[in-house]
Amino acid sequence: MEKVTSTIRLRMSAHDAHYGGNLVDGARMLNLFGDVATELLIRQDGDEGLFCAYDNVEFLAPVFAGDYIEAYGEITKVGNTSRKMTFEARKVITARTDISDSAAEVLAEPVVVCRASGTCVTPKECQRFNK
């Protein structure tokens, strides 16, 4: 099986901050993983499919407004209609509000902020590739 992967990168905005100190809700990482999963299914099957369940989620480090997050996913197992996936969200740029309101820093090494795994399904009648 050819490895199917997807990566998206975006900046967390003040709109994403849900808690004091501009802390971003961990659910925002799951939202990003959902977007990554959709792309993975499109690449695998030519259809958006459906996200069924996460079987593991780990929140490992805080995310703040102004941080840049790279969300990565890959399909690890393909069943008849199910697709097992793993995800990782990494902070690649961090806001440096301790310096100034607009300061930021590219991290020498990305910081893993969240990992997850789950299962998606593409109904057989919706699969256009790999039949």
Domain map (residue ranges) of the chain: 5-126
Using one digit for the tens of pLDDT, what is the confidence trace for 76-113?
999 999 999 999 999 999 999 899 988 999 999 999 99
The structure's pTM equals 0.91
Q: Is the pLDDT of residue 131 over 60?
A: no
* % of the chain residues with pLDDT over 90: 87
| Distance, CA of 39 to CA of 13 (rounded, Å) | 23
Q: Which residue has the higher pLDDT, 3 or 75?
A: 75
Q: Is the pLDDT of residue 20 over 90?
A: no
pLDDT at 18: 86
Q: Is the pLDDT of residue 1 over 70?
A: no
What's the sign of the alpha-carbon dihedral 118, 74, 124, 80? negative
Q: Tell the burial category of 106 from Cβ atoms under 10 Å away from its Cβ (0-12, 13-18, 19+).
A: exposed
Statement: 5-126 belongs to CATH 3.40.50.150: no
pLDDT at 117: 98
Using one digit for the tens of pLDDT, what is the confidence trace for 24-53?
999 999 999 999 999 999 999 999 999 999
* Residue 108 backbone dihedrals phi, psi, to 5 degrees: -60, -40
